[in-house]
Chain A
Amino acid sequence: MQKKRIVLNYPQHLVDQPVLSKLVKDYDLVVNIMRARITPKEEGRLVLELTGKRAGMEAGLKYLSEIGVQTQSLAQDVKWHEDRCTHCTACISVCPMKALDVQRTNMEVSFKRDKCIACELCIPVCPYQAMEILF
């Protein structure tokens, strides 16, 4: 079994197509929608967590690219500006995934991209504008 967090960019003409149900039915993937948004240009933006067998995952992603849905890994959309981070730890108690975490021995904060689900809870909490999410 594999797990992948990806961002989908839907062009306007696909917004009303049953893309996700195809991922479930034809490629045997478990689809968990973490965030969804329609941009002002009527394009869809989705953050998905896909779980399934490797073959199904590969075929599913291939299907998406063939119908014109762009995918990218979630990591690219979340930025921790290390130079702006003061290691204040204000974000630590709100990050549900421990993507932002602190080493208690020296109080150094770190960001683990692969744990982040782009939930944006840290955005209003960080006083130093160190977190940026381009979604």
Chain B
Amino acid sequence: MAKTIEEINDKIKKGKAVVLTAEEIIGYAAEKGAKKAAQEVDVVTTGTFGPMCSSGAYFNVGHTKPRIKLGGGKTYLNDVPVYTGLAAVDFFLGATAMPDDDPRNRIYPGKFAYGGAYVIEELVAGKDVRLTATAYGTDCYPRKTLETYISLKDMNEAVLFNIRNAYQNYNVAVNLSDRMIYTYMGVLQPKMGNANYCNAGQLSPLMNDPFYKTIGIGTRIFLGGGIGYVVGNGTQHNPDVKRTEGGIPKVTAGTLAVKGDLKMMSPKWLRGTSFTGYGVTLTVGIGVPIPVLNEEILRYTTVRDEEILAQVVDYSDSYPQCNPGSLGEANYRQLKSGRITVQGKEIPTAGLSSYLKAREVAQTLKEWIEAGKFFLTRPVELLPSVDSGVVLKTLKERPIKKI
């Protein structure tokens, strides 16, 4: 018997909804059978807590007296430049932005100790940050400089807006060269000395709804410790890829664009992150509830680590040169065991995305639903799936004619 979102919300209101995490549902369905489990369970909660570079936040800081037009000028939060190509007192802060005077990797390999993601973490922690700006001054916005402390509660709006998060599957990174390399997948030892992976596997949101049958525009989610919404597919969303029999993509595939009120979030779930030799990024906690509308959807949520395969990719040559090619496959059970074998060589593995915290996200979302504090939404449109015709393009460069 199929259920509707409205029926599930009704049960949540009455405190009668049965909610399990994506980890708990595996054993539950194995014991009860998929059919019975689909009848009994209403919601499966997922979670992930990993570095997501395409994150950021926009702010409206309120008008000054006299007025200033930040748009078109230069504005900084704690010396980190923000994007001001908007109206008078709106701007966007990207997670990977860095202070102008940060040495980057001029001092090898480069620490990248501070940037946009840290400003977001500090703001969410309730701290004051320095807002400094210069503007060109107009008749209606005469002021040319601004220097003040500001905190989240002083602002009108503070919205986390991440254009690509929660990647459905990701590469396992290794280094075939004979020197150490520093990447967004961490420090990679020469000659395949280690392998780094970055996905929560069986807990990961899009692994539990691989064809996006329940997730779409307007899906209410756990975001950064508060409540957020899926606003559409993330950039580079690429649904039509090779999949396992169970429908799980074998390579990077779907992504989510998400937003939420920063004022409701917590620094525990939005963490400034520094990859040596690479840059700054934001680690984001995201949890998506999957409504168990029917048996098919339930079956997807029972996916196990050993059924999810990832490609082992060389980050010394094939990734930077944008050449396709995989050195082999590993499943998430093997990756989490600490060792995988690639081309006959046994190599130690390490994660970048925290499985322990992913479980905590799924558990927290479960508790919110059980307590009647969080209701499910019906998306106004589902994410583009395998039959959508969406293809991921690389940039074809066309030389610019010199006249």
Spell out A's residues near B (CB within 8 Å).
Answer: 86-94, 102, 104, 106-109, 124-125, 127-129
CA separation between A124 and B276, bound complex, in Å?
6
Nearest-Cβ distance from residue A90 to partner chain B, whole angstroms: 5
Known interface pairs A104-B338, A124-B187, A128-B283; A87-B356 also in contact (CB < 8 Å): yes
B338 and A92 contacting across the interface, CB-CB below 8 Å: yes
Spell out B's residues near A (CB within 8 Å).
Answer: 49-51, 109, 113, 182, 186-187, 189, 194, 196, 271, 273-277, 281, 283, 336-338, 348-357, 359
Nearest-Cβ distance from residue B180 to partner chain A, whole angstroms: 10
CA separation between A128 and B275, bound complex, in Å?
9
Q: What residue of chain A has the Cβ atom nearest to residue B113's Cβ? A: A129
12 A–B contacts from the bound complex (CB under 8 Å)? A86-B49, A86-B357, A90-B351, A90-B352, A92-B348, A92-B350, A93-B350, A94-B187, A106-B359, A107-B354, A125-B276, A127-B281
Nearest-Cβ distance from residue B267 to partner chain A, whole angstroms: 10
CA separation between A102 and B356, bound complex, in Å?
11
Known interface pairs A94-B187, A124-B109; A107-B356 also in contact (CB < 8 Å): yes
Nearest-Cβ distance from residue A99 to partner chain B, whole angstroms: 15
Q: Main SS of the interface on chain A?
A: loop
B194 and A88 contacting across the interface, CB-CB below 8 Å: no
Residues of chain A contacted by B194 (CB below 8 angstroms): 93-94
Cβ contact of B352, chosen from A102, A108, A109, A127, cutoff 8 A: A127
Nearest-Cβ distance from residue A102 to partner chain B, whole angstroms: 7
CA separation between A127 and B350, bound complex, in Å?
12
Contacts beyond the supplied A90-B352, A107-B351, A125-B186: 12 A-B pairs with Cβ under 8 Å: A87-B356, A90-B196, A90-B350, A90-B351, A91-B350, A92-B338, A92-B348, A104-B337, A106-B359, A109-B356, A124-B277, A125-B276
Nearest-Cβ distance from residue B102 to partner chain A, whole angstroms: 16
Nearest-Cβ distance from residue B96 to partner chain A, whole angstroms: 13
Nearest-Cβ distance from residue A86 to partner chain B, whole angstroms: 4
A125 and B187 contacting across the interface, CB-CB below 8 Å: yes
